[in-house]
């Protein structure tokens, strides 16, 4: 059989260093490794240089057979050259954002990204005419990424898959509905899902919520969890030295992270426990998605130094193993919400290191890590409970043997990206083969 | 290259690290009260407590809702406006503005100050940006 051709649309694709980029990079690579011809639609490289920032180490790991088609993207919301800013935007960026959002939604109801629709659709048609596409996958957000699949499906009968990843119509933090079903965006979402062959979500709570909203479409909804991509090259567990430990965090430090609670709990744990008092926290990652810290972050960071917490800035993909190798335990923290798993959970688990969870226990992560050896989650988001979790994790890190670490790594293998994607790729390969056979008979 | 980095909180050490400032660069960091960056090529311009956001009763009440926060942004109590006003009165800031090749607003409350500084500057080729990524890209392009 001739190699099937996948058209994969991802606004955030390497070298972007946005948080969802790993899933896009890994999914396109997985299809290419499975023998598919893969074309990726994304935005121009220079765009990421001046907005999200770039990670060239991840870009270097794009499968060499993948063809990248860069579709021009211009959105006023991303203009960060102050010479182009109006007085209103400089004075009240929030108000300007609100007004700009209304203008930007004309072609597609999505703030800042809807403007991409016409160019994206045109690019999809062009690619299909050059080399017929067998399958189209769009990964959101932004949700405009679903449009190439929709266009090829409705105009040419190409099966489309929505990698819905997070959600459009529900706020994954608050759990509140963000789109009314009868709104323009709500109707678009329904139309896209009704047309898609499969819709993927990152966890069960998100899939279930959408199945409740669209019971007639539930059979096409699947969970494709995030996963870790590479087996990290880590040194063996260190024998206990009796000295302090290094708690590590790697990930984007967004405004949703409960930094204040984390510092409060850590401070209390240091007062209560000698081992924690001798220990430190090392934070690695970008501050917010555009590198500008929010007020809550600024306030929490002022308390870092007296509590032996250090922020070291971002770490490139190539330095990940070496960075994890410096840690004795990991700090897992992100915003609250039952729909939240967080992509870094899987990579954390793959290290075999003890993990302390500083997030609302209602998060889906609690289920994901419940049986992971060496996991201690804060039972509530109080300083008291967070301190208890830090103290328990410090003891686990001090006492962990190499055998225990290996057991934890073995447990985490179920979270490899390959384990998540392989069943879906095989299924889609069969679908494409069936469609081709039907077309020729 | 001469940089004018505007960060009311003064938490700029990690940002400057990621900009990979060289010994022949000069950075003026404009803050309200303190700055965590050190080094021979970094100087601090401290505007004082009047540049900090208002903690008064009115500002605190407005902070409690989205509409209130937007109204606050349009009043003299807004952190960005207070910072810009304090900067306008500071002679070191005026001098630094005139000499800067690149003006960077690192925080939301530094945007208005950076925007005004950019418009006030008569230096040929001066650029002004919001955020680290564009600053990094411009620095790389200028070298």
Concatenate the DSSP letters of all residues of A153-167 into one string: HHHH---EEEEEES-
Is A234 inside any structural domain? Answer: no
For chain B, what is the domain count? Answer: 1
Average pLDDT, chain A: 90
Percentage of chain B lying above the pLDDT 70 cut: 100
Is B122 inside any structural domain? Answer: yes
- Using the beta-carbon criterion (under 8 Å), do B9 and A83 form an inter-chain contact? no
| A52 min Cα distance to partner chain B (Å) | 6
The pLDDT of residue B21: 84
Check if the beta carbon of residue A186 is closer than 8 Å to that of residue A169: yes
Residues A210 and A333 occupy one common structural domain? no
Residues A277 and A364 occupy one common structural domain? yes
- pLDDT above 90: residue A17: no
The pLDDT of residue A141: 86
- pLDDT above 60: residue A289: no
- pLDDT above 70: residue A292: no
- Using the beta-carbon criterion (under 8 Å), do A298 and B15 form an inter-chain contact? no
The pLDDT of residue A92: 87
CATH of the domain at A391: 3.40.50.2000
- pLDDT above 90: residue A378: yes
Is B90 inside any structural domain? Answer: yes
Is B72 inside any structural domain? Answer: no
What's the rounded Cα separation, in Å, for the pair B143 and B141?
6
> Cβ of B129 under 8 Å from any chain A Cβ?
yes
Determine the structural domain holding residue A251 and report its residue range: 246-415
Most confident option among A66-80, A85-99, A101-115: A66-80
CATH of the domain at B33: 3.40.50
Determine the structural domain holding residue B136 and report its residue range: 2-52+80-141
* Secondary structure letter of residue A343 according to DSSP: T
* Chain B, nearest residue to A312 by Cα: B14
Is B58 inside any structural domain? Answer: no
In the three-class reduction of DSSP (H, G, I as helix; E, B as strand; rest coil), residue A81 is classed as strand
Please report residues of A whose CB lies closer than 8 A to that of B9. Answer: 293, 298, 301-302
Please report residues of B whose CB lies closer than 8 A to that of A295. Answer: 108
Task: Assign A49 a pLDDT band (cuts: 50, 70, 90).
Answer: confident
Phi/psi at A151 (nearest 5 deg)?
-65, -45
Looking at per-residue confidence, does A243 or A142 come out higher?
A142
- Using the beta-carbon criterion (under 8 Å), do A91 and B80 form an inter-chain contact? yes
Task: Assign A234 a pLDDT band (cuts: 50, 70, 90).
Answer: confident
Please report residues of B whose CB lies closer than 8 A to that of A50. Answer: 129, 133-134, 137
- Using the beta-carbon criterion (under 8 Å), do A94 and B73 form an inter-chain contact? yes
**Residue range B112-116: mean pLDDT, rounded:** 97
* Chain B, nearest residue to A92 by Cα: B73
Residues 6+ apart with CB under 8 A from B131: A51, A80, A290, A291, A292, B104, B105, B106
Residues 6+ apart with CB under 8 A from A112: A75, A77, A78, A100, A101, A104, A142
- pLDDT above 90: residue B13: no
Is B70 inside any structural domain? Answer: no
Task: Assign A293 a pLDDT band (cuts: 50, 70, 90).
Answer: low
Q: Which of B73, B80, B108 lies nearest to residue A292, judging by beta carbons?
A: B108
Is B119 inside any structural domain? Answer: yes
- pLDDT above 80: residue B133: yes
Is A237 inside any structural domain? Answer: no
Check if the beta carbon of residue B53 is closer than 8 Å to that of residue B81: no
> Cβ of B131 under 8 Å from any chain A Cβ?
yes
Check if the beta carbon of residue A125 is closer than 8 Å to that of residue A151: yes
What's the rounded Cα separation, in Å, for the pair A309 and A315?
17
Residues A316 and A268 occupy one common structural domain? yes
Is A42 inside any structural domain? Answer: yes
**Residue range B24-48: mean pLDDT, rounded:** 87
- Using the beta-carbon criterion (under 8 Å), do A90 and B111 form an inter-chain contact? yes
Is A195 inside any structural domain? Answer: yes
Residues A302 and A195 occupy one common structural domain? no
Please report residues of A whose CB lies closer than 8 A to that of B16. Answer: none
Scanning B77-130, the segments in alpha helix (DSSP H) are: 79-88, 91-99, 111-120
Looking at per-residue confidence, does A35 or A315 come out higher?
A35
For chain A, what is the domain count? Answer: 2
- Using the beta-carbon criterion (under 8 Å), do A293 and B69 form an inter-chain contact? no
Enter the pTM of the model. Answer: 0.81
| Residue of A80, A88, A95, A285 to mutate, testing the B interface (most B Cβ within 10 Å of its Cβ) | A80
Q: What is the pLDDT of residues A173-214, one digit of tens each?
A: 888 999 999 999 999 999 999 999 999 999 899 999 999 999
The pLDDT of residue A291: 57
* Chain A, nearest residue to B8 by Cα: A298
Q: Which of A50, A80, A301 lies nearest to residue B11, judging by beta carbons?
A: A301
| Residue of A76, A291, A309 to mutate, testing the B interface (most B Cβ within 10 Å of its Cβ) | A291
Please report residues of B whose CB lies closer than 8 A to that of A301. Answer: 9, 11
Is A236 inside any structural domain? Answer: no
Alpha carbon A226 to its chain's center? 8
Task: Assign B14 a pLDDT band (cuts: 50, 70, 90).
Answer: confident
Residues A212 and A294 occupy one common structural domain? no
Please report residues of B whose CB lies closer than 8 A to that of A293. Answer: 9, 11, 106-107
A178-183: long-range contacts at Cβ-Cβ below 8 A with a sequence spacing of 24 or more? A181/A213, A183/A109
Given the structure tokens 């929030």, which residue do they identify?
A94
What's the rounded Cα separation, in Å, for the pair A15 and A46?
9
Looking at per-residue confidence, does A23 or A193 come out higher?
A193
* Residue A248, both tokens: 């590590």
What's the rounded Cα separation, in Å, for the pair A354 and A3?
43
> Cβ of A312 under 8 Å from any chain B Cβ?
yes
Q: Which of A85, A292, A295 lies nearest to residue B115, judging by beta carbons?
A: A85
* Chain A, nearest residue to B84 by Cα: A91
> Cβ of A252 under 8 Å from any chain B Cβ?
no
- pLDDT above 80: residue A316: no
Please report residues of A whose CB lies closer than 8 A to that of B17. Answer: 313
> Cβ of B68 under 8 Å from any chain A Cβ?
no
| Residue of B12, B105, B134, B136 to mutate, testing the A interface (most A Cβ within 10 Å of its Cβ) | B134
Q: Which of A248-262, A270-284, A373-387, B91-105 is least confident?
A: A248-262
Task: Assign A118 a pLDDT band (cuts: 50, 70, 90).
Answer: very high
Check if the beta carbon of residue A359 is closer than 8 Å to that of residue A334: yes
Residues A422 and A411 occupy one common structural domain? no
Residues A208 and A258 occupy one common structural domain? no
> Cβ of B9 under 8 Å from any chain A Cβ?
yes
The pLDDT of residue A391: 97
């Amino acid at each position: 059989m001739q190699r099937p051709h996948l058209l994969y649309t991802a606004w955030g694709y390497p070298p972007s260093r946005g948080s969802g980029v790993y899933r896009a990079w890994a999914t396109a690579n997985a299809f290419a490794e499975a023998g598919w011809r893969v074309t990726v639609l994304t935005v121009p490289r220079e765009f990421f240089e001046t907005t999200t920032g770039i990670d060239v180490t991840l870009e270097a790991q794009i499968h060499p057979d993948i063809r990248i088609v860069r579709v021009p993207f211009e959105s006023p919301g991303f203009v960060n050259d102050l010479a182009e800013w109006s007085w209103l935007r400089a004075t009240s960026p929030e108000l300007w954002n609100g007004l700009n959002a209304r203008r930007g939604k004309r072609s597609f109801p999505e703030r800042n990204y809807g403007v991409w629709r016409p160019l994206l659709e045109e690019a999809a048609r062009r690619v299909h005419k050059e080399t017929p596409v067998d399958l189209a996958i769009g990964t959101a957000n932004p949700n405009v990424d679903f449009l190439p699949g929709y266009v090829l499906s409705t105009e040419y009968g190409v099966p489309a898959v929505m990698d819905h990843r997070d959600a459009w119509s529900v706020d994954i933090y608050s759990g509140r509905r963000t789109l009314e079903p009868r709104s323009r965006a709500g109707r678009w979402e329904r139309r896209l899902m009704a047309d898609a062959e499969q819709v993927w979500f990152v966890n069960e709570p998100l899939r279930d919520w959408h199945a409740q909203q669209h019971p007639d479409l539930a059979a096409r909804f699947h969970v494709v969890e995030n996963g870790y991509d590479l087996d990290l090259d880590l040194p063996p567990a260190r024998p206990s030295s009796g000295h302090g430990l290094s708690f590590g965090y790697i990930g984007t430090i967004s405004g949703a992270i409960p930094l204040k609670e984390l510092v409060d709990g850590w401070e209390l744990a240091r007062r209560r426990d000698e081992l924690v008092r001798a220990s430190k926290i090392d934070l690695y990652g970008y501050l917010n998605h555009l590198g500008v810290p929010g007020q809550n972050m600024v306030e929490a960071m002022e308390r870092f130094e007296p509590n032996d917490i250090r922020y070291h800035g971002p770490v490139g993909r190539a330095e990940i193993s070496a960075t994890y190798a410096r840690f004795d335990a990991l700090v897992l923290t992100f915003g609250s919400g039952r729909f939240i798993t967080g992509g870094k959970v899987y990579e954390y688990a793959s290290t075999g290191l003890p993990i302390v969870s500083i997030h609302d226990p209602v998060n889906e992560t609690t289920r994901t890590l419940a049986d992971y050896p060496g996991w201690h989650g804060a039972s509530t988001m109080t300083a008291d409970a967070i301190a208890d979790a830090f103290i328990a994790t410090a003891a686990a890190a001090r006492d962990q043997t190499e055998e225990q670490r290996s057991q934890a790594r073995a447990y985490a293998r179920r979270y490899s990206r390959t384990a998540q994607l392989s069943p879906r790729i095989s299924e889609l390969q069969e679908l494409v083969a069936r469609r081709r056979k039907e077309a020729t008979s | 290259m001469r940089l004018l980095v505007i960060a009311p909180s003064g938490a700029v050490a990690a940002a400057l690290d990621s900009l990979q400032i060289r010994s022949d660069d000069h950075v003026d960091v404009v803050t309200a009260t303190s700055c965590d960056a050190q080094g021979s090529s970094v100087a601090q311009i401290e505007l004082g407590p009047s540049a900090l956001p208002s903690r008064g009763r009115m500002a605190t009440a407005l902070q409690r809702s989205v509409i209130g926060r937007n109204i606050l942004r349009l009043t003299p109590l807004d952190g960005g406006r207070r910072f810009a006003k304090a900067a306008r009165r500071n002679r070191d800031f005026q001098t630094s503005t005139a000499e800067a090749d690149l003006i960077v607003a690192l925080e939301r409350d530094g945007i208005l100050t950076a925007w005004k500084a950019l418009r006030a500057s008569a230096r040929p080729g001066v650029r002004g940006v919001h955020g680290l990524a564009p600053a990094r890209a411009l620095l790389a392009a200028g070298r």
